[in-house]
Amino acid sequence: MSNKWNQLFFESEIPFYIYKLNKGDSLIFKYQTKYKPLIIVFYGTVYIMKIFTNSESIFLAILTNKSIIDFNFNFLDSNYVYYKVVALENTYFIKFFWLDYIAHCQYLSTSIKLLDLFRYTLRQYESSSYVLMHKSIRYRVVQLLLLLCKDFGVLNKNHILIPFELSQKTISYITGSNSITVNKVMNFLIKRLFIKYIVKNKILICYFSFFSYLRNNKIT
């Protein structure tokens, strides 16, 4: 755990718990009336889906370090939805409760840090929302790749590497499509030499030609 968060929580005497979510594992959250937990992502990457009782789902956001997970404000739809948090890589969380935070928080610095997390998380939700703005599945996949490159990509000589496994099943889940359609889009991008997808390792590489093409053709 980050030393600064460790220090802040201990100084404030706020009870907290540390959890690990292995790559591919998930957590389920529902609105709680009595105990209202908050969760800080302090290492790793997850994506969040809103799932309805009829099994339909909506992608909400991809969150990483310095993000905060809080579903306690959605009481109006608490009877027919729940939230699924899925780890794209091994991820660690700090879990604490609002009442404990209010009762024990005596340091202004801790409050400011928490507000910074909320601001950062809102920006991530906003960036993620662009994925579903497009009606076309091809454009949704393209927008998702751009988001991953911008927020998580590792820059190399002629490409950007997504530093965690990204299966086509995950891409279809996030974009609200099926694996067959996603496979067609990925094959199109691969044939145009815009991306390289290493199926065995589920590793994705986006070449600079991909970004040049999008800029020149105003796809985004």
CA separation, residue 194 to residues 27, 162, 180, 200 (Å): 34, 14, 20, 19
At residue 214, the pLDDT reads: 83
At residue 58, the pLDDT reads: 92
Residues 133-172: tens digit of each pLDDT: 888 999 999 999 999 999 899 998 889 999 888 888 999 9
Sole residue written with tokens 């691969």: 190
Residues 15-31: tens digit of each pLDDT: 888 889 999 999 988 76
Mean pLDDT of 84-103: 86
- Topology at the third CATH level for domain 134-217: Arc Repressor Mutant, subunit A (1.10.10)
Give the start-to-end residue ranges of the domains of the chain.
4-132, 134-217
Residues 175-190: tens digit of each pLDDT: 999 989 999 999 999 9
At residue 217, the pLDDT reads: 73
At residue 189, the pLDDT reads: 92
Beta bridge partners of 91: 21
The least confident of 77-86, 100-109, 135-144, 210-219 is 100-109
Q: Is the dihedral of CA 117, 118, 121, 127 positive or negative?
A: negative
The least confident of 6-15, 61-70, 145-154 is 6-15
- pTM summary value: 0.84
Cβ–Cβ under 8 Å, residues 117 and 48 = no
At residue 171, the pLDDT reads: 94
pLDDT band (50, 70, 90) for residue 82: confident
pLDDT band (50, 70, 90) for residue 65: confident
At residue 106, the pLDDT reads: 62
Query: Which of 97-106, 116-125, 138-147, 204-213 is modeled with the greatest confidence?
Result: 138-147
Residue 99 clears pLDDT 80, i.e. is over it? no
At residue 220, the pLDDT reads: 46
Q: Which residue intervals of 71-204 are DSSP H helices?
A: 98-104, 108-129, 137-152, 168-175, 179-191
Residue 119 clears pLDDT 80, i.e. is over it? yes
At residue 77, the pLDDT reads: 63
Measured distance CA(38)–CA(83) in Å, rounded:
14
Mean pLDDT of 72-80: 65
Assigned token pair, 153: 């990509």
Q: What is the mean pLDDT of the chain?
A: 84
Return the closest-CA partner of residue 26 out of 69, 65, 56. 69
**Is CATH 3.40.50.1820 correct for 4-132?**
no
At residue 49, the pLDDT reads: 94
